Structure 1
């Protein structure tokens, strides 16, 4: 009985506690993540790395139930909320097929990472993966959606493949950035316009 009471208190108090700590992420960033994750498809389901775009909600629900029964990792909805988060917060995976509910949880998860790492690309990478390299690659894909068509035509080039050093670009607040050049340990904040 005590466990149940503690669990219910945690469920009700935790959202108030985290929302007081974390600001809501910028809408353009949330939209860029949703574009990368699902192409803005509220019924998108990814099971163990394989993406599905069901035509009906019933089909999406079946995919979720099958993944649960098989004990597989899966992601749901336009923000692709992972089953790990569902277990952590006690989220009903079927409820995540509602785009508003899904976006709300995606914002909350992203806000936690921003509170932990600051409003920067590292936080965006952590939304996707705790692995630094996977997170860096993910953040680059999000940047392409965030920055728009101009950025999506640019290609990331590794250090070994560069023939000449790219020209540095001046940014607001005196921060210098070199496109295509990563610097270990350097955190670049989001340039919100």
Structure 2
């Protein structure tokens, strides 16, 4: 193989990783939350499926990679993160929304696992159970699939 072929191969191989880092890193930096926690929440909430939608018993919906609940729509609009609910299906916007919501939990509970668990629920039992799940995912290492990384690479939203 010629050197140019090696370079192109390396670029094509790394592009999804760079783009994944871009969406996650931008959100992590903007909202001062750990990127690895965002990645773990994505894994737990949607398994890396950007089109994930969940209809809850109370009639609310959870959207996208970070399963953003419709109860948060007005807050996300007032913060300028979204203009309308459908924007939550855009992967990078969904990550921005989730990172913002997580940052609010850190502001409320401090920089700890309780805050991470509160991303899912403020109810102690559910909060602590969720925090333990996220902790296990974090301890296991990187979790986003190549498919998710490729999707984030093709996303133009920030």
| TM-score normalised over the length of structure 1 | 0.52
Instruction: Answer whether contact 2:117 2:130 (CA < 8 A) is retained.
Output: yes
State the distance in 2 between where 1:95 and 1:127 align. Answer: 20
What residue is the counterpart of 1:43 in the other structure? 51
2:113 pairs with 1:121: yes
Shift of 1:23: 4.8
2:124 pairs with 1:137: no
State the distance in 2 between where 1:139 and 1:103 align. Answer: 19
What residue is the counterpart of 1:112 in the other structure? 104
Shift of 1:142: 0.7
Instruction: Answer whether contact 2:32 2:103 (CA < 8 A) is retained.
Output: yes
Q: Which runs of 5+ in 2 are unaligned?
A: 1-29, 142-158
State the distance in 2 between where 1:74 and 1:138 align. Answer: 19
What residue is the counterpart of 1:87 in the other structure? 74
Shift of 1:80: 0.4
Moved over 4 A (4+): none
Aligned to 2:119, what secondary structure does the other structure show?
Answer: helix
CA-atom RMSD in angstroms: 2.0
Deviation string for 1:110-165 (max 9, x for gaps)?
0111111111110011111111111001111111111106xxxxxxxxxxxxxxxx
Instruction: Answer whether contact 2:53 2:63 (CA < 8 A) is retained.
Output: yes
Aligned to 1:128, what secondary structure does the other structure show?
Answer: coil
Q: Identify the structure with the greater helix proportion.
A: 2
State the distance in 2 between where 1:128 and 1:76 align. Answer: 13
State the distance in 1 between where 2:106 and 2:64 align. Answer: 21
After TM superposition, list the pairs within 5 Å mapping 1:141-180 onto structure 2.
141-148=133-140
What residue is the counterpart of 1:6 in the other structure? none
